[in-house]
Structure 1
Amino acid sequence: MTDERSRKVMKRLVERSIHDVNELAAQTGLTKRQLEYSVEKINEFVTIDIGSKLVIENNRIILTNQLREQFIALLSDKIYAKEYLMNAFERSKYLYLILFYYADDYLSINHFIEELGVGKTTIINDLKNLTIELEKENIQLLYTRKTGYRLSGSEEHIRYHLMKMIIWDSTEYNTAFIYDQFLENHHIETLESTKRLIEKYTLEYGITFVENRLTEFLYTFIFLKKRLHILPAVFHDKYQLPALIAMKEYQFSKSILAHFGIEDEAAYRYLCAWILGLSIGRASESTKDYETIMELVKRIILRFEAISGIRFSNQELVVHQLYSHLRPAYYRLYFKLPIVNPLHNKIKNEYGELFNIVEETLKPFSSLFEHRIPEDESAFLTMHFAALCSNFDEYTTIQKVALIVCPNGIGSSSIVYTELKALFPELSFLGPVETNDIERLTDSYDLIFSTVPNIRLFYTKKPVYIVSPIMNTREKYRLISDVYTQIGNFNFKLPSVGKIMEIIKRHAAISEGSSLENELYEYLINQEEPNKTENDGPSLQEITAPELIQLEMSAKNWEEAIRLSAASLLKTGRITRNYIDTIIETAKREGAYMVISKNVALPHARPIDGVMQLGMSISVLKEPIVFGNKDNDPVKYIFCLAATENNRHLNAMVELVKLLDDPDFYSLLDTSDDPNEVYHYLSQEEVLTMEN
């Protein structure tokens, strides 16, 4: 028998030829002893010569091509799956699938024992654990002699839990193993047969899914269709959106359900809403909801530009990319569909400043949905803006061609693409493409970067590198080391941070070991700008100065107010006169885009319009002036921003956004006649921000 640990280790092992044991243990969440035990278990399945089995030597595991091929075969083999021993976590999921799928059947402990092949005590403990887990989701696991075991609670919550399980497993853990086991054991239609049917109708009606979203939909639909008739009254009211019937997604849903003999108006609407929340929006299509979604897209872009101080040069590209995401996001929020983003915490860590600005951008739009926009949804949108804000140069030429495979959608694809181009300027890139496209491109690339360790990739016989859609410094370092080591003609090898740390420890005491390690990783990846990451840009106090602060300023109109507020930046050589002229011309053409909240304006233009040095002036008008923004006029406080190309001002913008919620800050601006007093207040706020 093999188990989840062995399977997890094998999936990690096939990703690379050489593995550091400590790093592999961290990646798999195992202790070193557990890892060693899993290696022993895996070797029991290896049928090649004993000399070629897995060996831990010098704290490393080296994977031969022969072993990789056998592991790939094992992971794909149905016989291997039947000999698989589930752990408690997996049994809990499997029990939920039984309870969900066989809601109308009498289920007893004996059913569960027979199904899972474990003892009564084990099943009782599993049911206790499942009960505790479900209570967090407002679902009860009930038992009576008359009805047996059953799920009780809101049908919405019961479905949500299933969807969340499938999304987490397919995205975060990259596995559908438990679901495949269930479908096979119960002789339910296969994923492949359902996929053929769905793809037939997606082609007919012009519906497009991202690869991973389609997989999530297929598994969920197979389990859910038996329960579509269970639709409480609250669901009927919730999905009575008149525009739904005019959507192609509605006809798509009706055709799918008709195939399974389901003729129910409520089910059509429910499935239609679900499809709208999953499928890709296309700005080129004239749909019933086009004007609503496009208006939302443009308002979000305008507000993001106003708050972030970033002006996008290619508006068409920005609109098209955000439309593709915001159309399904709109329906997820409108219908309160499950929103699960496994990359949520990583996005917040790696793009913290941008995430905060996106959250601030979305605040006014939460009123459209009568509830706060979840952080998971904000994180999705942050990925798109992170890709759009990227200013990496375009590289051409190149000896080696790399294919990028990303089934996670446009946001992830764009970030991966720009990150890899920056890390490997020697490479030419194809893609990003979805997994199904690799077969037609076989002869046109030399190596593969993929966000998902799909077994099919390793059959290409090309070097495969698994990357996270959001890479931290250590992951970038490891990737550079792997690629340059394996592709010999680069003749490059990164120094070992571990070895450097060992040398330092022999000769000095280290008080902050992890911080030192991170700085070494950062320095070795990018020696031109050591210690500079997106998260440590200058503070608000660092980009302004007392000479850039004007209090009790008088102006006749909005144009003069902007010119006077920018004058100090011009005088100190931070901007050119053209920069001021561009702000005025843009405002005349586009309206008062710079008015970002009540009484506050943030005039700015693009860096190429005349920014010489990063800076911000702060001006307080003696008499407020109408700028032409009916919601937030009149303007009294003007923060004129001059941002440089690398977007390093975002940290300062996060601080400014927090200050704009601080009544004491406005009180100081209204009463003080000393720029130094205002300037020193910024340093106090910076300390508070860091502490929070």
Structure 2
Amino acid sequence: MGEFTLIGLDTNCQKLLLLLLQENQPLPANKLARKLLITPRMARYRLNKVEIWLHLNSLTLIKQPGVGYLIDARPDTKRSLLHQLEKMGDDALVLPPHKRIYLIIITILFSPLPVVVKQFQSALNISRTTVLKDLHTIDEWLIKYDLRLMRRQNYGCQIVGDESSIREAMVDCLIEGIGEENLIAIMGDKYAYRQRTDTDKLGIERPFIEILQKLNIDYFAKILLKEEAGTLSLSDHNFVWLVLCLASLTNRALSGIYVLDDLQSVQSQWDEEIDQFAKKLSAKINRQFGVRLPESETKQLTCLMNKAAIRKSVTRLLSENQIEIRTSERLIEEFGSDILSLAEEIVTYASVYLHPALRVDGELLANLANHLSHLPYAEVSRVKLRNPLLADIRREYAHIYFIAENCVDIVYRHFKSHISEDEIGYLTMYFAAAMERLCISERKKKVLVICNAGRATAMLLVSRIRVEFPNIDIVAVMSYLEWKNRVDSIEYDLIVSTIPIQVKNTPVVIASPLLASQDAANIRALLKTPRTTTKASDRTANHNQFCLKNLIKADTIKLNVLVGSWEEAVEQAGEPLLKNHLIEHRYIQAMKDTIINFGPYMVIWEGTVLLHARPEDGVRQLCMGFTTFRNPINFGHEQNDPVKMAFVLGAVDNCSHMPALYELSDLMRDHEVASSLRNTVSPQRVLKLFSDHCKDPVN
């Protein structure tokens, strides 16, 4: 059998082909993914490429649904191809175009001298024309960093611009070129990249490994993992970012290139403990590498760590939020009055459109304050907030994303800071997690959650799991690195992880942070629990029938009612829904208890109260009611009392009521319509006002 041409197959595809050739039985995509430490979706994408390549070489990839993938070829053909793959070194592997471009960028950025085109032709085995085309692509890539690729004949290529921007590009290029999951796996195991077999399993090309070796990432990973474990608690993304940042800083310092900004404008907002840690770390770098970092570099390091650091683990945050309601004074002490004021305004705005109960969700307020605490020094720290789930978030939580998008102006008013789409995605995730919590009941079974994508992602995943499986207990939430390096033991029955892992004697479900239906099915199969909820996308399918004009009907309207107290007002407003068997009597008591416990926050608009309680407090069916009072009643609200009309919301889940609530919020901004509602004495007139002003739900 003649030799095959492997052109068109990148490193990972060749490794996938190698695994398939070594087996005589079908291999499922999830098993292939585990072996390569990639996601099943990435494995299926590469299998499509392998299938095309096999077809061009007169071979067939058999796909058996529910079983796996198998190469259909004679044994001697398989042996010939297997031998060819096994004898190949990294030098023979063809880099895909995007990897090649990242490698060129990294080479130029980390080279102390200009790099000539011939060096790339020789190292990458490509033509001069291809190199020049890649350099044009690099020109465009550098624009977002305000950097420029300088090219001169007989001189070479060099990237020029602000030093902070150059370092930002260095770190981003390494993360994008090598892959965050690969970097996590390398940095989680000391010296793992020195072993050829380990890097082969990860699918990292040798040129990238050599760059990581030169940057001494094992030294910086060891410091952040072991020596100062008590100072910082980092998400996996921020851990990788900090390691690469330290390595890049040291690399540039060894060449005598420094950042000179003294950062005086944000120095007062730094965490004192992190400031001390940065100074110690600067001293260690000086001793280890024989370079003396100026004070400006130490301050830069402090600023970067303040934004990257998570002062509390997700597990601790969840525990605190379950056992206590933190007072405003406590939150001000933790995050400052400016940040708390911003978080409160965002929550107030979102509660009007998503669910009024968000106003009293202490967990949401604390999480938002923690997340937004980086804003005072966002511009100078240059830590990019990437949200790998942005596309999924926009699709799965479109209405919530729309509301979060409108919070951009609130942030700008407070800090004159623009937030990115990725940041909006994270706000959406916090809101979505809070909405999911509306459906939570008691939990029993023990589950450990491992999430490598940060706090917002973890919170959303935890909330989705709790809603889908009300009979489980989330015993801990950790990053991959936190779990891998943990010394104490935790008892659990199941691990749900967003990153491929293998654990002896413990079932593991690899899940999307949005908990796809198949992920839930896998968990259900292992826990042997029945399905208790529906997907968010399932619940949003019939949103059009849940608009305001379809929920408030003639028999859920009461007008010109005489009452003597706010308690009686609540009872009278809930009575039509109770009479129509849409709520239970305990729901009315729950609404009163909520006002007693949390105050008159339900008086959202002037003269108008939006009464509600939680879905599990006695709602039988999604419903809304409308009542006006003959005599205005005081609920105790400083600005919006006295109350002349009341809406009652009975939500059954975390999203089906949103179209009606959005329409109601829009309607109440029309003062003329609001006035007509307060003064009308005809239920038909009320229905016509709702119908005339009912808009299509946000898609």
TM-score (norm 1): 0.70
The match for 1:91 among 100, 104, 107 is: 100
> In the TM superposition, what are the counterparts of 1:494-533 in structure 2 within 5 Å?
532-533=538-539
How is 1:104-183 mapped onto 2 (pairs within 5 angstroms)?
A: 105-135=113-143, 138-145=146-153, 148-153=156-161, 158-165=166-173, 181-182=207-208
Q: Distance in 2 between matches of 1:420 and 1:527?
A: 10
Are the aligned partners of 1:535 and 1:651 in contact in 2 as well (CA < 8 Å)? no
2:283 is aligned, of 258, 272, 277, to 258
- The C-alpha deviation readout for 1:345-370, integer Å capped at 9, x for no partner, is 21222223343444556753442222
1:376 to 411, 418, 422: 422
Does the 8 Å contact 2:448/2:477 carry over to 1? yes
1:679 paired with 2:652, answer no
Letter in 1 for 2:214: I
Aligned residues: 618
Whether the 8 Å CA contact 1:174–1:452 is kept in 2: the answer is no
Instruction: Describe the superposition over 1:477-520 as per-residue Cα deviations: whole angstroms up to 9, x where unpaired.
Output: 6x47xx85xx7x97x9xxxxxxxxxxxxxxxxxxxxxxxxxxxx
Quote the offset at 1:341 in angstroms.
0.6
Residue 496 (structure 1) aligns with:
none
CA contact (8 A) 1:541 1:683 kept: yes
Structure 1 position 188 matched with structure 2 position 195: no
Which residue in the other structure is 1:198 paired with?
Answer: 224
Q: Which amino acid aligns with 2:51?
A: E
Equivalent pair of 2:259/2:296 in contact (CA under 8 Å): no
Describe how 1:165-314 pairs up with structure 2 within 5 A.
Answer: 165=173, 181-182=207-208, 184-185=210-211, 187-200=213-226, 202-203=228-229, 206-226=231-251, 236=262, 240-244=265-269, 247-261=272-286, 262-282=292-312, 290-292=335-337, 293=339, 304-305=350-351, 307-309=353-355, 311=357
| CA offset digits 1:114-133 (Å, max 9, x no partner) | 44343322211111122233
Whole-angstrom distance in 2 between the partners of 1:287 and 1:611:
36
Q: Corresponding residue for 1:451?
A: 498
Cα distance in 2 for partners of 1:335, 1:622 equals 57
Q: Which residue of 1 aligns with 2:49?
A: 34
- Relative to structure 2, which stretch is displaced further, 420-429 or 251-260? 420-429
Aligned residue for 2:386? 340
SS in 1 for 2:228: helix
Q: Does the Cα contact within 8 Å between 1:300 and 1:361 map onto a contact in 2?
A: yes
182 and 586 in structure 1: CA distance in 2 versus 1, 3 angstrom threshold:
same
1:225-251: CA deviation from partner (whole Å, max 9, x where unpaired): 445887788x556x5124245522222
Equivalent residues of 1:539, 1:651 under 8 A apart: yes
Asked if structure 2 preserves the Cα contact closer than 8 Å seen for 1:8 and 1:28, the reply is: no
CA distance change for structure 1 residues 570 and 443 in 2, over 3 Å: closer, same or farther?
closer
Q: Which amino acid aligns with 2:268?
A: A
The one-letter amino acid paired with 2:392 is K
Q: Residue in 1 aligned with 2:76?
A: none
The alpha-carbon distance between structure 1 residues 688 and 628, as it changes in their structure 2 partners (threshold 3 A), is same
SS at match of 2:386: coil
CA offsets per residue over residues 61-82 of structure 1, 9 Å max, x none? Answer: 4479xxxxxxxxxxxx9x9655
The alpha-carbon deviation at position 98 of structure 1 amounts to: 2.6
Q: Assess, with a 3 A threshold, how the Cα gap between structure 1 residues 339 and 373 changes in structure 2: closer, same or farther.
A: same
Q: Give the Cα separation in 1 of the matches to 2:443 and 2:566.
A: 43
| Alpha-carbon distance, 1:111 to partner | 3.6
User: What letter is aligned with 2:498?
Assistant: T
Q: What is the rounded CA distance, in whole Å, between the counterparts of 2:596 and 2:380 in structure 1?
A: 35
Q: Distance in 2 between matches of 1:226 and 1:587?
A: 59
* 1:553, distance to aligned residue in structure 2 (A): 8.3
- Name the CA shift for 1:254/1:633 in 2 (closer, same or farther; >3 Å): farther
Q: Which amino acid aligns with 2:94?
A: L
Instruction: Report how far residue 667 of structure 1 moved.
Output: 7.9
Superposed CA offset, 1:318-355 (max 9, x none): 56655554445775489674222110121222223343
Residues 21-74 of structure 1 deviation map (CA, whole Å, 9 limit, x = unaligned): xxx997558598633155699x9xxxxxxxxx995255764479xxxxxxxxxx
169 and 583 in structure 1: CA distance in 2 versus 1, 3 angstrom threshold: farther
Flag the 1:80–1:377 CA change in 2: closer, same or farther, 3 A.
farther
Q: Check whether the contact 1:15–1:466 (CA below 8 A) recurs between aligned residues.
A: no
Structure 1 residues 406-415 or 634-643, which shifts more? 634-643
**Distance of aligned partners of 1:225 and 1:591 in 2 relative to their CA distance in 1, 3 Å threshold:** farther
Percentage of identical aligned residues: 23
Give 2:13's aligned residue: 6
Q: Shift of the alpha carbon at 1:278? A: 1.9
Answer yes or no: is the 8 Å Cα contact 1:594–1:602 preserved in 2. Answer: yes
- In the superposition, relative to structure 1, how do residues 452 and 352 fare at CA in structure 2: closer, same or farther (>3 Å)? same
Aligned to 1:639, what secondary structure does the other structure show?
strand
Find the residue that maps to 2:549 and give its secondary structure.
helix
**Aligned partner of residue 594 in structure 1, secondary structure:** coil
Task: Name the SS for the 1:602 alignment partner.
Answer: strand
Aligned to 2:611: 603
Distance 1:647 1:131, change over 3 A: closer
Q: CA deviation at 1:209?
A: 0.5
The answer on whether the counterparts of 2:356 and 2:602 sit within 8 Å (CA) in structure 1 is no
Structure-2 change in CA distance of 1:246 and 1:416 (3 Å): closer
Output the aligned Cα RMSD: 5.3
* Cα distance between partner residues in 1 of 2:595 and 2:447: 43
In 2, distance between residues paired with 1:565 and 1:370? 43
Separation of aligned partners in 2, 1:535 and 1:369: 38
The question of whether the paired residues in 2 share the 8 Å contact of 1:307 and 1:596 is answered with: no
SS of 2:30 mapped into structure 1: coil
Shift of 1:196: 0.8
Distance in 1, matches of 2:653 and 2:246, equals: 46
Shift of 1:89: 0.8
TM-score between both structures, scaled by the size of structure 2: 0.69
Structure 1 spans left out of the alignment, 5+ residues: 44-52, 65-76, 493-523
Which segments of 5 or more consecutive residues in structure 2 lack a partner in the other structure?
Answer: 1-5, 21-26, 34-38, 72-85, 185-202, 287-291, 321-329
Matching residue's letter, 1:212: H
Instruction: Describe the SS at the equivalent of 1:616.
Output: strand
- Equivalent-residue separation in structure 2 for 1:180 and 1:653 (angstroms): 56
Would you say the 8 A contact 1:321–1:384 is kept in 2?
Answer: yes
Task: Assess, with a 3 A threshold, how the Cα gap between structure 1 residues 583 and 361 changes in structure 2: closer, same or farther.
Answer: farther
Instruction: Kindly state the Cα deviation for residue 450 of structure 1 after the two structures are TM-superposed.
Output: 2.3
